[in-house]
Amino acid sequence: RYGWTHDSAAIYALRNQNSLVSLCRIAVPDGVSMRIELPSYTSLRQISVSPTRDALALFAAGPTTPERALLLDFEAAPLEVRDD
């Protein structure tokens, strides 16, 4: 439930707190953790980090949102979240 970024500068991890799963990016040098907001999604699973760029795919669902595969591109500004 974690994966290294393509440059090994950070780790993406899924955290489960009070039955809500969130996606976090943890910087390797200092251990600072940043939560990545994904509105409408409370259940995340099976992350797969890109080996060539700062992007990842995962399965996500929410109380009113059926499960779908998401692609998160962190190199896009602002963050691009695609489900197509």
pLDDT at residue 67 in the model: 95
**36-58 pLDDT tens trace:** 999 889 899 999 999 999 999 99
For the segment 16-42, the average pLDDT, to the nearest whole number, is 91
Determine the Cα–Cα distance for residues 70 and 67; give it in Å rounded to an integer.
9
Cβ-based neighbours of 83, under 8 Å, separated by 6 or more: 68, 69, 70, 71
Determine the Cα–Cα distance for residues 79 and 51; give it in Å rounded to an integer.
18
> Which CB contacts under 8 angstroms, 24+ apart, belong to 15-21?
21/45
Percent over 70 (pLDDT), the chain: 100
Average pLDDT of every residue of the chain:
92
For residue 17, give the 3-state DSSP assignment: strand
For the segment 20-43, the average pLDDT, to the nearest whole number, is 92
